[in-house]
């Protein structure tokens, strides 16, 4: 057995499975994107953009989006899909933006991995007066028996997905929430990509990973329709809050790139777990 220090961290697991993540994860319904950011075009800083699942929905609504993620392998997929969207390799705790420069900051599937004590004042710093922070998580609807069985195989981390730190933050007020139901069409191949995109599978050794994939395929063969695929139900849980105050002190702008630029890459970055 390898020493603990050699084991892959869940927070560093997604670059190696970026393509599977992009093929296997659901997108976001247009109704949820509009609720999060609005229908009128605004400037949006997206944190933890990953392969661009939420970015695509925001761009389709006409918003001016700057996508950031700590993992450049994930952003590489986003750039292929959305070549006109500016990107930056950056974390929620050190945003590549000037003070009061965005109307909305948005994050999908990532807020639970932020260092909230650092990230929330940093987000407040880059928002304009009256600006909003918007969060969304896609959750499988495990009230459906076969979906519940899938969750038992590939795992679930729904307990991590909470807007509690936002509700408790002195930097934000007037937290609102809404939920939108949607469906993802999956087939025998994409359901395996969904499993591979989970951090717990991405960090397994190959033998254990193949065992899990065999279980997923067996479940699909029991319930699925072969080439016709099947519908996997999701609930998009959305939250938004208005910036209430700015941090008393702000980091130096000397090393902060302007919006729309990509900073020099670094090997010493914290990668977000999108499980």
The answer to pTM > 0.85 is: no
24 pLDDT tier (thresholds 50, 70, 90): confident
Domains of the chain: 8-137+158-181+236-243 (3.40.50.150)
Is 90 exceeded by the pLDDT of residue 27?
yes
Taking the C-alpha atoms of residue 174 and residue 244, their distance in angstroms, rounded to an integer, is 9
C-alpha distances (whole Å) from 129 to each of 151, 161, 275 are 41, 27, 32
Q: Measured between alpha carbons, how far is 48 from 52 in angstroms, rounded to an integer?
A: 9
Taking each helix axis from N to C terminus, what angle separates 53-60 and 30-37, rounded to the nearest 10 degrees? Answer: 80
pLDDT tens digits for range 116-134: 999 999 999 999 999 999 9
pLDDT (tens digit per residue) in 173-211: 999 999 999 999 988 888 888 887 776 676 777 888 888
Name which residue leads in pLDDT, 83 or 224.
83
Tell the residue number behind the tokens 């020493």, with chain if given: 3
């Amino acid at each position: 057995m390898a020493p603990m220090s050699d084991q892959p961290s869940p927070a560093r697991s997604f670059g190696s499975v970026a393509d599977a993540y992009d093929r296997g994860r659901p997108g976001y319904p247009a109704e949820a994107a509009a609720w999060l950011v609005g229908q009128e075009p605004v400037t949006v800083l997206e944190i933890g953009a990953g392969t661009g699942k939420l970015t695509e929905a925001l761009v389709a609504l006409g918003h001016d989006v700057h996508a950031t993620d700590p993992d450049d392998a994930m952003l590489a997929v986003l750039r292929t899909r959305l070549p006109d969207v500016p990107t930056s390799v950056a974390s929620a705790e050190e945003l590549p933006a000037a003070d009061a420069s965005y109307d909305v900051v948005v994050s999908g599937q990532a807020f639970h991995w932020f260092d909230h004590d650092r990230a929330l004042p940093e987000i407040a710093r880059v928002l304009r007066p009256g600006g909003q922070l918007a969060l969304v998580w896609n959750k499988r609807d495990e009230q459906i028996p076969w979906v519940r069985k899938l969750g038992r195989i590939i795992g679930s981390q729904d307990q991590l997905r909470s807007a509690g730190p936002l509700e408790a933050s002195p930097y934000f007020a007037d937290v609102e929430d809404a939920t939108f139901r949607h469906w993802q069409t999956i087939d025998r191949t994409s359901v395996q990509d969904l499993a591979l995109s989970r951090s717990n599978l991405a960090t397994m050794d190959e033998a254990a990973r193949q065992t899990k994939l065999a279980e997923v395929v067996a479940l699909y063969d029991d319930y699925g329709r072969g080439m016709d695929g099947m519908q996997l139900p999701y609930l998009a849980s959305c939250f938004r809050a208005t910036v209430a105050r700015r941090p008393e002190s702000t980091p130096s702008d000397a090393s902060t790139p302007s919006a729309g630029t990509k900073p020099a890459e670094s090997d010493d970055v914290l990668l977000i777990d999108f499980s």
